[in-house]
Amino acid sequence: MADEKLLPEKTASHAHTTHQEPKPSLLSNVLAIVGFIILIVIVLWGLLHIATLASPWLSSLFNRTSTSVQVTAPKNATSSEAFSVSWKYSTSEKGMYGLLYPCKDTFRLETSGTGAANTIPCGAAFTVPSNEKSIVVTPRLSGTVSMSVPLSIIFIPSATSSKQAQGSATVLVHPSAARVEPAAPVTPTKPRAITPADLSVSILGANVDASGMAIVEFDIANNGGSLSGTYYFDAYLPIQSAYTYSSPAQSSLAPGDHIVNTLRFSQTVPGSISVVVDPAQTVHESNENNNYASQPLNAPYYTPQPYQYPYIY
């Protein structure tokens, strides 16, 4: 028999090896925490710096006030029919409002007065009490063609260093509708002699407060029998430096018409206020002896501040 060779049995041995991950050291943990804290500090510092740079812009955004007056008036109006002009303006400053419209020969504005209507002077600010933000006016159009009239509202601050604010609205004024009335019996009348215009001026009142602010009212009338045509007036003001206020062109006055003007100015000193109507004598008048008026002003002795100029309006 063939010898059977016994082969050695292979014993399978399974080696079990355990892989253990390395544990982070204490130093690595400390460095990670410190780096995280530094990152947070950098982010917070950046946010704080951005907020500091943006604070003026945010302040101007939330504290912004209107730099112009919002004026509301009807787009169309009819001569001799009253309408209201209102306005809005947000400000913390003290001051007053004034209504302003351009001079036109065939147009004027009136406002209700004591017992009669008062003509609002053109080309100059007609002041309105500061606690009111509306005014009722009546347009007077003598022509037969509609006229576009811009109406401006000006905020006049009490502090002379502050800037004025202004807004405007345009109103289209139409002639009043013709009325058909029964014919009146014709009676013979004597022709009235046409006389030249006669402009006159008289000072109605003048007051000065403790700060040297003066308010002067004077009346200019046409006592003649013809239209005056465009005219001017000069006002000689008693202020620190002698000053003459020369008016813009004034609308023509019909026979018997008159207009009350208001002039305000600061830095008043003791002296006299004088007004001369038609100083260049461009209007043909029957009498020029009544073209001058004067009145003394009792004012405190005012000491002007450096770089401060008189305020006239």
Q: What is the mean pLDDT of residues 230-256?
A: 88
The reported pLDDT for the residue numbered 269 is 86
Q: How far apart are CA 71 and CA 86, in angstroms?
A: 6
Q: What is the mean pLDDT of residues 45-59?
A: 66
Q: How far apart are CA 265 and CA 302, in angstroms?
A: 13
Cβ 176 vs Cβ 139: under 8 Å: no
pTM equals 0.41
Top-level class of domain 193-313: mainly beta
User: How would residue 72 be classed by pLDDT, with cut points 50, 70 and 90?
Assistant: very high
For all residues of the chain together, what is the average pLDDT? 79
Residue whose tokens read 């009807």: 74
The reported pLDDT for the residue numbered 179 is 47
Alpha helix locations (H) across the chain? 26-62
User: How would residue 23 be classed by pLDDT, with cut points 50, 70 and 90?
Assistant: low
Asked, colleague to colleague, whether 68-177 and 193-313 share their fold, the answer is yes
Query: 144-158, 220-234, 297-311 — which is least confidently predicted?
Result: 297-311
The reported pLDDT for the residue numbered 305 is 55
Which option is the CATH number for 68-177: 2.102.10.10, 2.60.40.2410, 2.40.400.10, 3.40.50.2020? 2.60.40.2410
Give domain limits for the chain. Answer: 68-177, 193-313
Q: What is the mean pLDDT of residues 145-170?
A: 85
The reported pLDDT for the residue numbered 189 is 64
Cβ 72 vs Cβ 169: under 8 Å: yes
